[in-house]
Structures are given as structure tokens and as C-alpha cells.
Structure 1
């Protein structure tokens, strides 16, 4: 599907902390995961001592930082989810009892001289803490419950589109959220369709259906060659999303990075950005995608 603005070829997506620590899965840095998660920071300090190498000390500090991030995520979910639905609360406990912690970025890392611990290694990370939903009831019922973790749906009336048909998308969250919607065509080109130069809103109300394109949008999504599988991804969070490299291409933004880089940069959430100067220690995050098939 070729991207040209308004032309013949027009552009066409509680918490039981002891259990959490006991079963925590610590992973190496990677490009992020789809579904529900919490993005937060964590810090750790480990002393060198006489029985550890510098590498071992750095590894210990990183493990402590991951545990700190997991604790903050568990505390956030426990306090933010004032859930009356006992089944939902039980599901959340089960899901976060086997959380996966992914290091998104090392914000600080240095050797320090601690007054009490001596030579020590200090590290601060931005991390994503994702619940293990395997074996837990589907998250579908969460979609309309504002007390549940952030859940956003992205839908289209059909999965198969033919030449000259118009693609329409619908976006809805269970609570207020910030969002970025990215369209990846069959050639791999990434286009940010929301927000865009004419529809600049990036904050959306919960329990409200938003249509794309609509309102101030000046693009359409008309199926034209080349045909194939196309993917639309929505990234959403309860705090402003990280910035990505982009350039204006008519009524939309052309993204200048690969999908993994876009996903990683989007997770660069500034946790200190909050209403009335309130400092946030964690942000709920949600990623989902749909695919459509285009043909002649």
C-alpha cells in the first residue's frame, strides 16, 4: 500500500511481593514485548569485597536493580488496581507472580566509593516488567474495566482488503492513555498515522472509540499496489511515550528506524512527567498489533 497524501494513490497500526521475587525471570535486554506490562526504573548497589570479581559485582548490582524494578511494578499494580472483582485480582496476582523483567536501558552505571560498603558498583536501569499471562484467563474482560491494567484494542472491520477499498481502524482503551499508531506496509516502510501533523492529539480518554482516519486527519487509507500483508501496531501508556526519529511526509510521519528500534524508543517513558508535578515511579504500558491482507 503506497503512502501518498490525498492523491490518486492515497496512504492507507495483591500483589504478593515474596512470590514475585521468588519466581522472577530475569532476562537480557531485548526489544520489548506485546501485551500488558509496567515500565519503571530500578537501582542496585553491590560491594566488591574480597570474594567477587568486578564482573560478578556488576552482575549482582544489575540483578538487584531488576528486583527493585519488579518491586516497584508490583507496588504500582497493587495500589493502582482498586479491583472489586475478586477473579480479576486473583488473575493479576498469578500473572505478576511469574513476571519477566527486561532491561530497556542502563540510565547510570559507575563504580563508587561507598562510605559503608567500600568499592561498589551502582547501576540504574529503565525496565519493563511483564506479567506471565500463560494459563491465566484471557485479558479480554479487562478491556472495559478501568480498574484493570491498561488494555487497548485496535480493530478493523475486515482482515482482507481489495484494490481501491478504504481501510478503517478503531482504537479504544479501558482508561485514559497516550498512544502512537504505526502502519508497516508490505515493503517494510513504517508510517506513524497517529499522532500526525494535522491530528496532533496523543492523549485519549478511556471507554471511548476513536476512528482512524477521522476528524483532522488529512490522509486516507486506500488499497493500492504493492499488495501483501500489512501490520498496524499501537503503543500505549499511562505516561507520555518516548520520542522516535521521524520526518513529515505530507499528512503523516515517516519513521526513520526499524520496528525494534521504534518499539524500544517508544518505551523510553519519562516517569517524572505527571500531572501537577507528581512524580511517577511506574507507567502502565500496552502494545498490540493487527495484520491485514491486501490484494487486487
Structure 2
């Protein structure tokens, strides 16, 4: 639920919940993931067994498909694979969180969702001074969750090796980590990876939390968003939580003006704004989308109703996004421009982490 002056971030990934077949402790979960990661690392390094020196590998955040959306579970998988590659003795791993790369991400010069192959591997690899880049894409069915791994050359973007992490959801350690993403959030991540309608003016809008891409927040922490555009326009922020509920969180009861100036980054909520977004249970992964247009626009036909300080939207993620894109076409026809942006948030229960109820997330 959304409470007054509080944005309740609902999510579905790492939670300390019992799974089918009983509960595993943190050591068992860690051992389970380490074994799966070791098998994957063996497949990835096999082509380089005869190489004289270790291969320098750069790591990008694992994501759901090409969406750029990650989760605590995918972060745990990434860390396990990273450790297994180092343990193999055939790889030197360089982290993606370098100062220069973070600077570029902050400036929105790199679009995470598009850096999945080819030129993306070359660009990131050069920034990290790596021989190869490792990408991980998560996907799921009713009974299984899978992470496909690709090792790409930073010279020409060619595929060097592949591997996968394959899990049955009802396996105790995996069930305890809850890798599944709510269908509504998953639909939103897939749609954000698809082409947006194009119009005159090439309006752009960007949104990040003040912790940049795919941040992790603990319970009780405050969240702020950095929003910027390249033209004077109107911007609405919609939170899609892991239960499938959707809320317009900006504009809201405390701020009705949703106009932004070109090239003037706005922090929401700012220090002079009378509302705050605070992390409260339950925890996991969610998405916040920015919808922008050079003309005023609203959200008609989506079953809007007041929900504390914000507005609840009674529509599916697919219907909401496609409906706004259709509205964007109308704005184009009237000589205006429309654009979208999004960011992904991950939240964890700090107290549960301290008690070792699940594998700690970096």
C-alpha cells in the first residue's frame, strides 16, 4: 500500500520465505549457487584452457532479457559466477563499477538496456580494459528460471563462449531466493526494450535514482530520482510495483506542476518539496517509468483513483504503456513530441540480511 508521504516499494525477489521441501540456511543456499556457478564458469573458460595468461573479463549487471532490469537474485548469480571465474585461474575479473563508467551512466551517455552485444561489448570492454565482456539474461517459465550467459569479444563483439544457470523454482534454495518477477513488472521490462513511437523534435527523457542504475536500497531508506529532458515538456512518473499495482507518484497531492525545463535536471522529491519516498516492506524489484510530452497530457481511461498522496492506476502494464504510446501518436499529429524513460530499483530487508536469512547482496 501507499501511505501518506511514503512510497511503498513492493517487490518480489529475495525474501526470507519458506520454500517447498523445507528451509535451507544461508550456507546451504550459498553452496548451491556456488556449485551451479562453478559448472557455468567451467563451460565459459573451456575455450581458453591452453591460453598462457588469464583472460581479462568485464562484468555487466545481469538483467531480465534485454530490458536492463536486474534484481537481487540476478545480482547474487552474477557475484557467484564472478567468483567462480576467478577461482578457475583462467580469468581476471574487472568490475563494471569503475569511476569512468559510472560517470558515463550518470550522464546517460550509455543506455544499459541496449548494451547487450556487438558495439556495446566493445565500448564497455574498452572502458574496463577487458578482453571480453560477460552478459547474463534471465528468463522464466512456470516451473523454471534460467540465466543465459554470453562471453563476447571486446575486439569485434563476436561470441566466445556460452553457458547457463538453470533452476527449478521449487528447489529449496532457489525458492528461498524467490527469483520470479511479477508478470506485470516483467511485461513492463519487456515493453521498455521495444521501440518507442518516433515523432518530430526527438524529445528525450531520462530518469535514474540518485544511486544511478539498478541500485539496492535497505528498509527505511529515502529514495530520490534524477529526471532530465532535452526540451521543455511535461513529465509524469509511474511506479509499477511487484504485485502488479501501478501508481502515479509525480505529479501528486503535494506537487501538481509537472513541467520540466530543458537541460535542467530536477531531483524528485527535492529538498523543498513536502513529500518523501521511503522504503518499507515487502522487498524486491520494481520499475519507475517517466512519460514525457511537449504538450500537457493526462491518463484517461485507466481507472484512476486516489491512493493516499498518489493516484492508483487500474490498468495492466501493457495496456498502460501502449495506451500512452497511442496518446503519443496523437501528440505527434498535433506537432508535438513524446518520450519514455525508466529505472529499476531493488530493495532488501537489512535486518533479515544481518541474520543470514538469505545470501547477502552486495
TM-score normalised to structure 2 length = 0.39
Structure that is richer in helix per residue: 2
Looking at secondary structure, tell me which structure has more strand per residue: 1
Q: TM-score, normalised by structure 1?
A: 0.47
